[in-house]
Amino acid sequence: MYIKILKAKLHGLTVTDTNLNYEGSLTLPEEVIKEAGINEYEAVYVVNLSNGKRFETYVIKGKKGEVILNGGTARLGIKGDKILVFSFIYIEPEKAKDFKPKILFFNEENEVTKIK
């Protein structure tokens, strides 16, 4: 048996653009997804703190500072919105007791300011 727990949380990212005509996904800076341990094309859950919307999508690599809502997700936020991104894993309950998620905090330029 496995349980689903938080693997990583990206707290306080700022949307820098939206692109409705893209095939879909969430663009995040390559260095951010590496630091968080998120794989490109990995499914993530997103909460838009600015409008309360929640959605699931997948991550693609972008340039430094880029946080872009692509495809249908472009309808779920606008430039300047603050978002949270959650990555989850399935793990055996016994291993979960000692597992600690990686939590990254960001400034207005989407630079990591703190890692917990």
Residue 54: strand pairing partners = 47
Please give the angle made by the CA atoms of 72, 12 and 95, to the nearest 5 degrees: 90
If 0-12 CB within 10 Å is exposed, 13-18 middle and 19+ buried, where does residue 110 land? buried
The residue ranges of DSSP E strands in the chain, in sequence order, are 3-14, 17-19, 25-29, 43-48, 54-62, 68-70, 82-91, 102-106, 112-115
User: Of these residues, 22, 45, 50, 58, which one is catalytic?
Assistant: 58
What would you report as the CA-atom Rg of the chain, rounded to the nearest whole angstrom?
14
Annotation marks residue 25 as catalytic: yes
User: Of these residues, 2, 22, 25, 87, which one is catalytic?
Assistant: 25
Annotation marks residue 87 as catalytic: no
* Residues labelled as active-site residues: 25, 58
